[in-house]
Amino acid sequence: MTRTRALALLLALAASFFSHSVAATDIIDLTTSITGNQTLVSAGGVFQLGFFIPPGGRRTYLGIWYASIPSKPVVWVANRNNPLFRTPGALSLTSDGRLIIVDRRNSTVWSSPAPTTAENQITTRAAVQLRDNGNFLLSSDGSGSPESVAWQSFDYPTDTLLPGMKLGIDLKKRLSWNITSWNSASDPSSGLYTFKVILGGLPEFFLFRGPEVIYASGPFNGAGLTGVPNLRSPNFVFKVVSTSDETYYSYAVTDPSLLSRFVANGEAGRLQRYVWTNGNWSSFWYYPTDPCDNYAMCGPFGYCDMSATPLCSCLPGFQPRSQQQWTLRDATGGCVRSTKLTCAGAGDGFWPMNRMKLPQATNATVYADMTLDHCRQVCLANCSCRAYSAANMSGGVSRGCVIWGVDLLDMRQYPGVVQDVYIRLAQSEVDALSAAAATRRRPKTKLLIAIVAGVAGVLLLGAIGCCCFWRNMKRKKVQAKTEPSTSSRGQRQAEDQIDSEEDVDLPLFNLDVILAATDNFSVDCKIGQGGFGSVYMAQLEDGKEVAIKRLSMRSLQGVGEFKNEVKLIAKLQHRNLVRLLGCCIDGDERMLVYEFMHNNSLDTFIFDEGKRGLLEWKNRFDIILGIARGLQYLHEDSRVRIIHRDMKASNVLLDRNMIPKISDFGIARMFGGDQTTEYTMKIIGTYGYMSPEYALDGVFSMKSDVYSFGVLVLEIITGRRNRGFYVDELDLNLLCYAWTLWKEGRGVDLLDEAMAGPYDYSVVLSENATMPEPNEPGVNIGKNTSDRDTDLYPITAHSGTNFTEVDAR
């Protein structure tokens, strides 16, 4: 192709993108059509339908995309497996009720099925309309009423599920509502990943990679999907319906202005829910989320628990099929019984497993009206029965029964209440487990005596230690009297300065309001756990989303830390500090109410194998700068100097726009006057982030926070934890490894290989560099960082990309 022809083609494509024709209506009837770059726009301007070329692609497709969003993410493709080769194409409605796409030779490329029922036969008033919910709906008489629907795009999803769409099966209409990923960002044809329902004893949704299952939602138990215990949000209404005619999952948004899409993401190999907020698509929810979400990770009769080490365990009464494999952390072979069943009524029993994701139940047997007691007897009478559980938990009441006569697969234990599963074991195993449980509840007398003796010995040693310590303190009279008194005086001076100012207008929340907002501290609302206690997501009566931090009675911190955090944060106002909205004090209850951070904490991004790739260098650089600004405010610009003492990734929260906000001031200290250093004998914080002088000698200052910040910077750019990362062959931890690479001039090798997007390596290596503008030279991130180009090659994804619209000429 000559340069002239290439230039002409580029100009034509640019002209088509910036000056395409738009139809004046959202409807096509028997007398109209669209062709080339003409489009339909829904009445409210939410969605647009027309022909498009994906980014990097060469073929033409008919699709629906968001009209008002610059990235124009495509949510539906009509002819995904039948692209147009000869353009321009045309879309029209035929007299027999079919939508057809024809190429420039008038050959049919794609058509919708013709109406099959008498009530949906096409009249002269038939029309197809693009609606504001994204549905492209063919009405037999043009009325748009539900009974007149002859065909709709919602019945034929591609890779995206929009609010109001169904994912499942309609047995009466013989429709399968599945979502299948794009083959690539430039090719919308059917890809490897498909999410669909499998009917059986209890319905369940599965994510396939080709023929292989990689994730399962857990069986539906009438109340929800047992593998998705957090399927709850103030802005969304989720439901699963299972009747004799249809079984499906769908969702709706409570705020009509909120744009959301649920996507089978082929590039990430997972399911993702996106929400459009403040000019960006935020990944609101995704699965698989963690290793325990991997299908059948622990094999038959094994279960996964993210709080355990190792993650996989055998069910009580079972042992690893191959101990060697389990030692190597390969539990896929599963477990086998330690004691065989007798298959005689009195010879076997059951052991309850609590808080469980139900085993895969597509091959289980369901008895809708059977009580659990009757279910137990039926299971005992059948030698092939492995376990039983309630089939329906709607309304919190057990109804019906499900019995497994197959190996138990894909089990997981959660920290909160989900459901109980009763595992069939030999009665001797049940007796042994009961005796062990009783022993744990009732320690023997000898054990009590040993404990008392041990405590007495410890107290005696403690007394001796105190004497030695007192003698040692006398030798260090200057340090013991001067430094602590100075620091205590500085702390009092800072507190007096705070107390002398006017009280902050900090609302006090009534406990009833907190209980209503958290559904009485429901497990479904719980989003975190720390030394302070539990953190809950809640929605107040005015619709505002907040995070509620509840002081635990067994908290590692206490009321003093609670008062400290209230006193500190109430006086601090900065863009990079989390904002305190109020508190609740009611009897023994102590709670703090914060602004809600939609993207959780920084550690959930940089240490997550799936999310790490979502943070480009610019995102990470902006997060580092934001944290630095927050620290500078605490150290230099606030009313008094604040030393945080626990700077780490989990204490940096991210809002909708990924702006970092420093949180958790429970162990922070205030400095008064010109105080710069303090000494403490109570070392509090997180190892791996503590400066050496603080961890060893109890001396802390602004430098302590700066040291922690440096560790955090390394974690952000590498995607690796300081604690737990180790280079065996070099005998180095992360800090030593970073220093070694820096001395060798290979600092750029520290960059996280999972990081997408362009970067300029001179920015990464220079302490004085600033971020380049988008059109400045940079470097494309790849696993081979030695090949450095002089151009930017941004890595794109289907979740938010531009595409070229077709030239009508």
Which pLDDT band, with edges at 50, 70 and 90, does 145 fall under?
A: confident
Kindly report, residue by residue over 535-586, the tens digit of the pLDDT: 888 988 888 889 998 876 654 455 566 666 676 677 778 899 988 888 888 8
Mean pLDDT of 373-396: 90
In the predicted structure, residue 46 carries a pLDDT above the cut 60: yes
pLDDT of residue 398: 82
If 0-12 CB within 10 Å is exposed, 13-18 middle and 19+ buried, where does residue 84 land? buried
| Cα pseudo-dihedral 479, 482, 484, 489, rounded to 10 | -170
Angle of CA points 136, 141, 143, to nearest 5°: 65
| Order of all β-strands in the sheet with 356-357 | 312-314, 302-304, 411-413, 356-357
pLDDT of residue 179: 97
In the predicted structure, residue 93 carries a pLDDT above the cut 90: yes
Rounded to whole angstroms, what are the CA distances from 132 to 161, 276, 419?
15, 16, 39
Which pLDDT band, with edges at 50, 70 and 90, does 483 fall under?
A: very low
Mean pLDDT of 336-346: 86
pLDDT of residue 148: 86
Selection from 425, 429, 427, 364 nearest residue 390 by Cα: 364
Mean pLDDT of 53-76: 93
Q: Which residue has the tokens 């107290």?
A: 459
Question: Which residues define the annotated binding site?
Answer: 549
Selection from 568, 500, 565 nearest residue 530 by Cα: 565
- Residue-averaged pLDDT of the chain: 79
Q: Which domains does the chain possess?
A: 20-152 (2.90.10.10), 157-289 (no CATH), 293-441 (no CATH), 506-596 (3.30.200.20), 599-809 (1.10.510.10)
Mean pLDDT of 644-654: 90
Q: Which residues are catalytic?
A: 646
Share of the chain above pLDDT 70, in %: 77
Asked whether the beta carbons of 48 and 113 are under 8 A apart, the reply is: no
Selection from 227, 242, 237 nearest residue 260 by Cα: 237
pLDDT of residue 501: 40
pLDDT of residue 118: 64
Beta bridge partners of 662: 577, 652
pLDDT of residue 114: 85
Q: What is the DSSP letter of 25?
A: S
Kindly report, residue by residue over 444-460, the tens digit of the pLDDT: 445 445 545 555 555 55
Mean pLDDT of 691-702: 82
Q: What is the DSSP letter of 394?
A: G
Which pLDDT band, with edges at 50, 70 and 90, does 765 fall under?
A: low
Kindly report, residue by residue over 596-629, the tens digit of the pLDDT: 988 888 988 888 877 887 888 888 989 999 999 9
What does the block give as tokens for 314? Answer: 């055998």
Task: Give me the DSSP letters along 520-585.
Answer: TT-GGGEEEE-SSEEEEEEE-TTS-EEEEEEE-TT-SS-HHHHHHHHHHHHT---TTBPPEEEEEE
Least confident of 347-356, 498-507, 525-534, 759-768: 498-507
| Cα pseudo-dihedral 692, 698, 699, 700, rounded to 10 | 80
Question: Which residues define the annotated binding site for ATP?
Answer: 549
Selection from 196, 184, 218 nearest residue 271 by Cα: 196
In the predicted structure, residue 730 carries a pLDDT above the cut 70: no
Element (H, E) at 15: helix 3-18
Mean pLDDT of 696-703: 82
pLDDT of residue 805: 39
